[in-house]
């Protein structure tokens, strides 16, 4: 099988309340450098492993443990056989086999895995699986759950006695759910993987088979500067499993474009060398269109792809344009292009899970290459600019300040970010100086509620925008306004001829900023008052001029007030005639 290393995909114990290894068993000889997370809030399938050396011929348990060859190889080609014959071996020890998972569940997971590789490889790889019955193995739980080489020897012997021929398969997947362990494992590269917890699902099988082909884990990169999270720059740290949009991270998704290139399965990858606007197809269904963009800058390579579907196992995430980088021969890392936008997913990083660059936002690399998401839908449009250093954002323009619940609701337009995504806004009311910070990556929030403003009549409000280059200037001050409801007079219509006694029908609607509902309406014609009405409407008002004080063309004025005291006035030209 050639030289290989051992990696583990961990299923963390806290969720199931089981130990990392089989209960009562001795610790494995190869436990050195295999780290299990102690985060109790990590999801069940959180992978946390570090490669270690393993003997290729698996004739003995792993004894000589070291850090091994930890080079990631970047986009160097890896072994992706055109045909995979996978023996899925269900093994048990003791008097009886486990009741889980069911044969139906196993066939479903294996069939999904085979279809996955057929699709992701563009038909270049065909996976054929053989599922064994439950086969008894003459080995202890300690051997089957805590060793690699010895467990493979025991498994192969048991399979041969049962009439199977593991040497006829180029992949052997050993299922020992009886371990109730916290990790699955695989040779990297190699032919053997160990599935040691119940109901692992397609994502785990794909991940381990990816290791067998030579793929490392999918990384993310987290950067901070001046105490705040930024997209790229300042002090950066790699995050193993941090790419939640690649099957080799904590994900149920597709392989990323760099992984597809390594496997020889990529579609059209456009090498970008000049500024321009480029179109990207869905990375999973790109056909003959661009599956990704590739940009080289000295020792660093950037990859741009479009993922319009939710990929992680759990939680809500925002899909979109993903940006990855590779520095030298280091790992390919997804960049958190929307810092400050965390999800409820705790592992491996709440913020990094939402890594897409929002529409209208930009990211400028240390080499002054700027990426801007122009649009997204069935395809995504990305603008790439060279030699474009970033700057602070433009000043935001406030377009509404409305009285709301004793305070104020402020609305503004997202400004141009000038090369680095907007991280948030500082809203200040004057003359009190009351300040509120609004975290808003990419300007997804462009409103804020301020508490009651004292000594400010009227209230003046300014807004500044922040990106990783600093604060913008303050936008022009805006005077606070009490907004009235939206009003429609349905009868009489403008220009109508009416008698001296007529009805007025009015509809009132909540205004778009505060949502305050109408509470009353009244009207007059010239100097003659009409009736009034309470409630949220629609309203019917009665107007009459029994004293014949009005003649010919007149203006009907309708007033509607809302919960906050805001009033809207609407005038309708009419003409009185008759008695």
CATH of the domain at 21: 3.40.390
Please give the pLDDT value at position 445: 87
Say whether both 233 and 102 belong to one domain: no
Contact 415, 361 (CB under 8 A): no
Dump pLDDT digits (tens) for 167-202. Answer: 999 999 999 999 987 778 999 889 999 999 888 889
Q: What is the pLDDT of residue 188?
A: 85
- pLDDT category, 31, cuts 50, 70, 90? very low
Say if residue 8's pLDDT is above 60: no
Tokens of 402: 């409305």
C-alpha distances in Å from residue 50, one per residue of 9, 66, 186: 9, 11, 11
Q: Are residues 129 and 51 part of one domain?
A: yes
Residue 18 confidence (pLDDT): 30
Q: Are residues 124 and 26 in the same domain?
A: yes
Residue 392 within a domain? no
Percentage of residues of the chain with pLDDT beyond 90: 56
Judge residue 489's burial from the number of C-beta atoms within 10 Å of its C-beta, 0-12 exposed, 13-18 middle, 19 or more buried.
buried
Residue 177 sits in the same domain as residue 309: no
Q: Residue 1 has what pLDDT?
A: 38
404 shares a domain with 368:
no
Report phi then psi at 167, rounded to 5.
-70, -10
User: What is the pLDDT confidence band of residue 534, given thresholds at 50, 70 and 90?
Assistant: very high
Q: Is the confidence at residue 81, as pLDDT, over 80?
A: yes
Phi, psi of 16 (to 5 degrees): -95, -10
Average pLDDT over residues 366-394: 96
- Please name which of 156, 312, 323 lies closest in space to residue 231, comparing C-alpha atoms: 323
Instruction: Compute the average pLDDT of residues 48-72.
Output: 30
Task: Please give the pLDDT value at position 53.
Answer: 30
In this structure, is residue 312 part of a structural domain? yes
Provide φ and ψ at 443, rounded to 5°. 70, 25
Residue 418 has pLDDT above 60, yes or no: yes
Average pLDDT over residues 375-390: 95
463, 479, 495: which is the final residue of a domain? 479
Domain boundary among 213, 229, 251: 213
One domain, residues 201 and 304: no
Q: Tell me what pLDDT residue 475 has.
A: 86
Domain end among 180, 213, 246: 213
Residues 40 and 165 in one domain: yes
* Whole-number Å distance between alpha carbons of 18 and 533: 68
Query: Residue 227 and residue 450: Cα distance in Å, rounded?
Result: 25
Q: Are residues 151 and 268 in the same domain?
A: no
Among 65-79, 117-131, 474-488, where is mean pLDDT lowest? 65-79
In this structure, is residue 390 part of a structural domain?
no
Q: Supply the CATH number for residue 441's domain.
A: 2.60.40.10
Q: What is the structure's pLDDT at 405?
A: 57
**Residue 41 domain flag:** yes
- Number of domains the chain is built from: 4
Q: What is the pLDDT of residue 514?
A: 62
| Domain interval for residue 524 | 486-576
453 falls in which pLDDT band (50, 70, 90)? low
Question: What CA–CA distance (Å, rounded) separates 246 from 331?
Answer: 13
- Categorize the per-residue pLDDT at 4 as very low, low, confident or very high, splitting at 50, 70 and 90: low
- The answer to whether residue 53 is domain-embedded is yes
Pick from 10-24, 317-331, 396-410 the range whose average pLDDT is largest: 317-331
Closest CA to 322 of 289, 346, 291: 291
pLDDT value for 101: 79
Average pLDDT, stretch 229-240? Answer: 93
Round the average pLDDT of the chain to a whole number and report it: 82
CB 427 within 8 A of CB 453: no
Report the relative pairing of strands 407-413 and 183-188 from DSSP bridges.
unpaired
């Amino acid at each position: 099988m050639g030289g290989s290393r051992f990696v583990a995909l961990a299923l963390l114990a806290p969720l199931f309340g089981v130990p990392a290894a089989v209960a009562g068993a001795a610790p494995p000889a190869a436990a050195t450098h295999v780290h299990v997370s102690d985060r109790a809030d990590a999801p069940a399938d959180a992978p946390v492993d570090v490669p270690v050396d393993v003997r290729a011929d698996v004739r003995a348990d792993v004894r000589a443990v070291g850090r091994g060859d930890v080079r990631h190889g970047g986009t160097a080609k890896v072994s992706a056989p055109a045909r995979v014959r996978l023996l899925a071996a269900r093994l048990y020890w003791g008097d009886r086999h486990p009741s889980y998972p069911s044969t139906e569940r196993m066939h479903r997971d294996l069939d999904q895995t085979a279809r996955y590789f057929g699709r992701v490889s563009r038909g270049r790889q065909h996976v054929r699986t053989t599922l064994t019955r439950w086969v008894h193995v003459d080995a202890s739980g300690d051997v089957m759950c805590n060793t690699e080489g010895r467990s493979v020897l025991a498994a192969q012997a048991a399979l041969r006695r049962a009439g199977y021929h593991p040497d006829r398969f180029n992949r052997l997947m050993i299922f020992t759910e009886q371990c109730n362990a916290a990790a699955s494992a695989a040779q990297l590269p190699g032919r053997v993987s160990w599935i040691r917890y119940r109901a692992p699902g397609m994502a785990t099988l794909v991940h381990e088979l990816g290791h067998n082909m030579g793929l490392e884990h999918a990384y993310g990169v987290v950067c901070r500067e001046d105490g705040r999270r930024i997209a790229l720059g300042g002090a950066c740290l790699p995050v193993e499993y941090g790419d939640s949009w690649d099957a080799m991270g904590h994900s149920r998704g597709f392989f990323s474009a760099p992984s597809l290139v390594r496997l020889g399965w990529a579609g059209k990858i456009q090498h970008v060398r000049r500024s321009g606007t480029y179109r990207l197809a869905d990375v999973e269904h790109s056909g003959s269109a661009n599956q990704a963009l590739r940009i080289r800058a000295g020792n660093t390579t950037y990859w741009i792809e479009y993922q319009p579907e939710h990929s992680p196992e759990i939680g809500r995430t925002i899909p979109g344009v993903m940006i990855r980088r590779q520095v030298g021969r280091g790992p390919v890392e997804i960049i958190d292009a929307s810092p400050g936008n965390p999800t409820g997913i705790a592992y491996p990083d709440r913020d990094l899970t939402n890594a897409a660059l929002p529409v209208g936002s930009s990211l400028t690399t240390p080499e002054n290459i700027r990426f801007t998401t122009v649009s997204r839908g069935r395809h995504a449009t990305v603008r790439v600019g060279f030699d474009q250093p970033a700057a602070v954002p433009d000043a935001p323009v406030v377009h509404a300040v409305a009285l709301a619940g004793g305070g104020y609701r402020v609305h503004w337009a997202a400004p141009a970010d000038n090369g680095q995504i907007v991280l948030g806004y500082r809203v200040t009311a004057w003359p009190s100086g009351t300040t509120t910070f609004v975290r808003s990556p990419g300007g997804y929030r462009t409103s804020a509620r301020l508490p009651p403003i004292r000594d400010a009549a009227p209230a003046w409000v300014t807004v500044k925008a922040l990106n990783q280059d600093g604060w913008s200037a303050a936008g022009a001050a805006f005077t606070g306004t009490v907004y009235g409801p939206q009003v429609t007079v349905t009868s009489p219509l403008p220009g109508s001829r009416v008698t001296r006694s007529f009805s007025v029908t009015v509809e009132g609607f909540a205004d778009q900023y505060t949502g305050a509902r109408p509470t009353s309406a009244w009207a007059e014609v010239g100097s003659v008052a009409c009736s009034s009405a309470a409630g949220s409407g629609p309203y019917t008002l009665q107007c009459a001029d029994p004293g014949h004080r009005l003649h010919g063309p007149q203006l009907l004025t309708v007033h509607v007030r809302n919960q906050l005291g805001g009033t809207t006035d609407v005038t309708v030209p009419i003409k009185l005639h008759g008695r």
